[in-house]
């Protein structure tokens, strides 16, 4: 890649990618401003360090002309210096809604391509995406792990742009002469995140003053640190409470509720439960803290009952 002076927005994005670089990288590129600016930075940084890099575009086939747009993305990636480019067409189901199904299909492809190259998967989520995630978690009452939002690194997945506003990626594309695409789904009021982006956050900014997105992202950072500590403590407690596949109520009875609920959720999931709602976790917790001979608790995929001092899972 030819070296030239970088504009201020582009430099900011390059520095964010450089801060997490060190392994081969696979950039997830949709053709939007976030992912194209990210793709440039990945190629720029990896070229300077002689690390392999690649790009993957997932065509969900949900809109007319999606195949043509994917090919246009490929052309821009070639111009950015990519010679390892994958375009994959996926089928999107309808079971849990188009947003969730598309996300599941997309990550299956992206994770597979990154794993096949022994590379980090680099995603273009920005500070704005983080703020939206936190607000959605708050509205759904999903608990601190949801409010913790996304991490810059989560296993092999990297999100280096979480401290950068969406407007900066658009500015970077303008500096670089990149032709990005605005996905109409991002403004479609049928989707919850789209309504939050177009209606809710602007109202909050108007009524409470500027800086709401930054405040929500900062909240995620603070909550994540606390949640990570509690998760580590809960892992230790779970190891002490396990008796084979069972759970020892005597060990958990005196535990703080914040740890107890985490242990129960982790144990239920590892035992085969396919859904662990707040209400169901509370019902299982009552078998430990309010035991008076009540019957088993049914969860999707699992039944839990108490025998003596042990909770026993029984797959359905």
Of 267 and 143, the structure prediction assigns the larger pLDDT to 267
The Cα–Cα gap between 53 and 43 comes to 7
Q: Using 50, 70 and 90 to split pLDDT, how confident is the model at 141?
A: confident
* pLDDT for residue 143 is more than 80: yes
Q: What is the pLDDT of residue 61?
A: 57
Query: How many percent of the chain have pLDDT more than 70?
Result: 94
* 8 A C-beta contact, residue 166 and residue 34: yes
pLDDT digits (tens, 9 = 90+) for 263-307: 999 999 999 998 899 999 999 999 999 999 999 999 999 999 999
**Number of C-beta neighbours around residue 203 at 10 A:** 10
pLDDT digits (tens, 9 = 90+) for 114-133: 999 999 999 999 999 999 99
Give the mean pLDDT of 206-219: 94
Q: Which of 37-51, 177-191, 204-218, 293-307 has the lowest mean pLDDT?
A: 177-191
Q: How far is CA 144 from CA 192, 223, 226, 262, in A?
A: 20, 6, 9, 11
């Amino acid at each position: 890649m030819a070296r030239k002076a970088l504009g201020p927005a582009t430099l900011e994005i390059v520095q964010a990618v450089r801060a997490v670089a060190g392994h081969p990288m696979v950039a997830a590129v949709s053709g939007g401003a976030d992912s194209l600016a990210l793709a440039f930075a990945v190629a720029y940084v990896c070229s300077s360090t002689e690390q392999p890099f690649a790009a993957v575009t997932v065509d969900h086939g949900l809109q007319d002309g999606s195949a043509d747009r994917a090919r246009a993305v490929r052309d821009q990636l070639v111009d950015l210096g990519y010679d390892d480019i994958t375009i994959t067409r996926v089928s999107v189901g309808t079971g849990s809604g188009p947003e969730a199904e598309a996300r599941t299909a997309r990550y299956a492809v992206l994770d597979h391509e990154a794993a096949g190259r022994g590379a980090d998967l680099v995603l273009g989520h920005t500070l704005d995406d983080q703020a939206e995630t936190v607000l959605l978690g708050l509205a759904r009452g999903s608990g601190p792990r949801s409010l913790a939002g996304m991490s810059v690194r989560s296993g092999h997945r990297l999100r280096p742009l979480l401290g950068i506003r969406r407007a900066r990626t658009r500015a970077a594309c303008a500096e670089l002469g990149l032709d990005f695409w605005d996905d109409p789904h991002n403004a479609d009021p049928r989707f919850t995140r789209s309504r939050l982006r177009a209606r809710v956050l602007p109202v909050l900014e108007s009524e409470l003053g500027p800086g709401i997105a930054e405040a929500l992202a900062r909240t995620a950072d603070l909550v994540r640190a606390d949640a990570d500590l509690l998760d580590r403590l809960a892992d230790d407690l779970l190891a002490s409470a396990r008796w084979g596949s069972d759970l020892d109520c005597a060990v958990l009875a005196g535990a703080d509720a914040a740890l107890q609920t985490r242990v129960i959720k982790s144990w239920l999931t590892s035992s085969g439960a396919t859904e662990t709602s707040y209400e169901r976790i509370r019902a299982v917790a009552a078998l430990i803290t309010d035991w008076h001979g009540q019957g088993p608790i049914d969860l999707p995929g699992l039944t839990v009952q108490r025998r003596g001092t042990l909770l026993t899972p029984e797959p359905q």
